[in-house]
Amino acid sequence: MMLRKGLAVAVILLFIGMSVFPSTGNRVAFDDITPPVTTCTLNPPEPNGNNNWYVSDVEVTLNATDDMSGVNVTQFRVDGGSIQTYTELFNVTADGVHTVEYRSVDYAGNIEDWKSVEFAIDQTPPTIDITWELYCENGTWYLTIGVIYDDATSGVDYVEFYINDALMFVDNTPPFEMGWIITSKYSVKGLICGRQFDEQNVAFYALIVKIKQYWQPSYTVSVAVYDFAGNVIKEEIKFDVPPIIRIYLLKRLTFANNYTGRVGIFFINAEFEEGPL
């Protein structure tokens, strides 16, 4: 009989300080005054772009623990939006700087203070238009390449300029442009050209000249624009550089009209027409 009485006392002591929520059946400790603890995990765990930017969606996982009454609900909100109940991991996909706030509530009614994590996403490359100007001064061609660009999120970091797939210049200072002098190649020809008569229509002239024709092959200009997150866009243009022809006078000889003969290695048939050269 003494044994049964002791057992009953033990059972009563076991349930002191405990209650049961009728609606849920969950036991709640009357002395639970400690809120839950919620942790946040991001995937990827670290920014996978440059300068602390993510260049992908960010997966957010929340995990809450409570050692006494247990976790009733975990809540979150993104960028100050509406409070949502957390049930499973979620993704943040939009470009920009984001703040995810989170907390949990236990069955005793203890509410955890809001915690937060901040991260930045930029998955969009810049948009660009290539500008170029080709001009000639004193027989030399000059090329200026520029970029009209836009990157609304992380901004443009630097620009690479290529000529025929060879990297020529890297510019990290706006307005991002490159100047280039085009190297010419040339061929040389010797010939007789022209007709001219003097005021008395007596003496006729033939000019022995050398023509030096400068020419340039086709060029491909490529521009690669990188934003601060590491996204890149590359575009190219192709163009031909017009040839430059320079004429050098070697000799000026006087012939009668209809003269036929050789002058050095050149054969001349001096059939002149009236009118100046």
Non-local CB neighbours of 169 within 8 Å, separated by 6+ positions: 160, 161, 178
> Which pLDDT score, from 0 to 100, does residue 73 have?
98
Q: What is the pLDDT of residue 141?
A: 82
Residue 100 confidence (pLDDT): 98
Cα first-last separation, the chain:
143
DSSP 58: E
**Residues 6+ positions from 113 with CB-CB distance below 8 Å:** 35, 103
- In whole angstroms, what is the distance from residue 71 CA to residue 250 CA? 100
At 49, is the secondary structure helix, strand, or coil? coil
Q: Can you give the residue ranges of every domain in the chain?
A: 31-121, 127-270
DSSP of 186-202: EEEEEEEEEEEE-TTS-
Amino acid symbol at 211? I
The second-level CATH assignment, the architecture, of 127-270 is Sandwich (2.60)
Tell me the C-alpha to C-alpha distance, in Å, between residue 197 and each of 63, 77, 200, 210, 275: 102, 94, 8, 21, 7
Residue given tokens 């609606």 in the structure block: 23
CATH 3.40.50.150 fits 31-121, yes or no: no
Q: What is the residue-level pLDDT of the chain in tens, covering all 277 positions?
A: 444 444 443 333 333 344 444 444 455 555 889 999 999 999 999 999 999 999 999 999 999 999 999 999 999 999 999 999 999 999 999 999 999 999 999 999 999 999 999 999 999 999 999 999 988 887 778 889 999 999 999 999 999 999 999 999 999 999 999 998 887 766 655 544 445 555 555 455 555 555 666 667 788 999 999 999 999 999 999 988 877 777 666 666 666 666 676 666 656 565 555 444 3
Angstrom distances, CA of residue 130 to CA of 86, 146, 241 = 47, 6, 17
Q: Do domains 31-121 and 127-270 have the same CATH topology?
A: yes
Cα(106)–Cα(101) distance, integer angstroms? 17
